[in-house]
């Protein structure tokens, strides 16, 4: 059992007072454009996060409506949505095929910020998937062919053997994108921007799509 003394205690009032004294109150978050705000925060995260500023939690649901969540990497973003790539036969691929809705969470601990996204999911085009796959390192391309993602692996040697077999198959030639590997785009219906403030009085700003534009509202922390 985990030693409960290892879990950090909640900050004391003195801790918060020191935070307030050290921090200049920021201006309220802009309500103009969620993607412009995301772009601003993402650029800061790329400078300050130790690694994988583009990491995001992806939540889906299985056939029994049981939630499932894992970390994936953002590979593209524009006003049409947030893009990631995966094995279509993986758990997330199967879940999204059956229920094309998802939630994303970016948590930038160094900035004390997070962004939540909820929306519908559509496949990327084959051209988009081909273009991204071509940028991957060759061992990662081979791995996409060799790994039966989310399915039972008898032992580590079985994976190494499959990678070797795929390597022999393609030799020094170009590795094509596997037909079972592609991308998904999450088109936001809502985006929430959360910013840490002292005493748990955080700032929360929600953008909701009401086509042809966004509405905004602020939430109690």
Give the SS3 label for residue 117.
strand
Which pLDDT tens digits describe the chain residue by residue (221 residues)?
567 677 777 777 777 677 665 555 678 898 999 999 999 999 999 999 999 999 999 999 999 999 999 999 999 999 999 999 999 999 999 999 999 999 999 999 999 999 999 999 999 999 999 999 999 999 999 999 999 999 999 999 999 999 999 999 999 999 999 999 999 999 999 999 999 988 888 999 999 999 899 999 999 99
- What are the residues whose beta carbons fall under 8 Å from the beta carbon of 44, sequence distance 6 or more? 108, 111
Name the packing angle between helices 138-146 and 156-170 (round to 10°). Answer: 120
Distance CA(27)–CA(45), nearest Å, equals: 19
Does the active-site annotation cover 94? no
Question: Which of 70, 138, 200, 217 does the annotation list as catalytic?
Answer: 200
Residue pair 187/119 in contact (Cβ under 8 Å)? The answer is: yes
| Cβ–Cβ < 8 Å for 45, 110 | yes
């Amino acid at each position: 059992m985990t030693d409960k003394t290892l879990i950090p205690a909640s900050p004391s009032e003195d801790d918060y007072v020191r935070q307030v004294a050290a921090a200049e109150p920021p201006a309220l978050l802009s309500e103009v454009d969620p993607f412009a705000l995301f772009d601003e925060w993402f650029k800061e995260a790329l400078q300050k996060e130790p690694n994988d500023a583009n990491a995001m939690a992806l939540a889906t649901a299985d056939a029994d409506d049981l939630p499932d969540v894992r970390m994936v990497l953002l590979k593209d973003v524009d006003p049409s949505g947030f893009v990631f790539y995966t094995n279509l036969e993986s758990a997330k691929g199967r879940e999204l095929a059956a229920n094309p809705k998802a939630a994303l969470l970016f948590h930038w601990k160094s900035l004390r910020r997070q962004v939540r996204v909820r929306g519908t999911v559509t496949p990327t085009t084959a051209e988009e998937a081909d273009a991204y796959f071509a940028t991957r390192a060759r061992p990662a391309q081979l791995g996409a062919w060799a790994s039966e993602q989310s399915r039972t692996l008898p032992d580590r040697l079985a994976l190494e053997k499959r990678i070797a077999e795929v390597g022999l198959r393609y030799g020094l030639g170009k590795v094509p994108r596997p037909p079972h590997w592609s991308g998904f785009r999450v088109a936001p219906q809502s985006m929430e921007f959360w910013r840490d403030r002292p005493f748990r009085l955080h700032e929360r700003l929600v953008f909701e799509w009401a086509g042809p534009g966004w509405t905004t509202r602020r939430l109690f922390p």
